Amino acid sequence: MSMSPIQELQKWYRSQCDGDWEHQLGIKIETLDNPGWSVRIDLKGTSLARRPFPSIKRLEDKRNWIHCEVVNDKFEGHGGPLMLEEIIRAFLSWANAPSNTTSNASD
């Protein structure tokens, strides 16, 4: 049985915890008032720092929109109220891709 996106994110988070990283950096998942989700993942001190991320931007409607990018060593994903799993999958797809390639996520 394969892991859920939440389980995979937990595994990635655990692999970053080295006694220092988790004290100042980490993952934040919050709600937005428009409504929607915000996911911020610190990349500083990880193997993903400075790795190119192909921005994802799909704003076709008010419920199923998603916008993900890396800004200042942080993955920032935002999306509609039913898009939390897709935001996490976008991060994981990129994070789990070989370092010399990028995700196949569409713009």
Residue 26, SS3 per DSSP: coil
**Interval 3-37: pLDDT, tens:** 899 999 999 999 999 888 889 899 999 999 989 99
Say whether 37 sits in a helix, a strand or coil. Answer: strand
- Measured CA to CA, the distance from residue 83 to residue 77 in angstroms comes to 10
Query: What are the sequence ranges of the domains in the chain?
Result: 5-96
Q: What is the pTM of this model?
A: 0.87
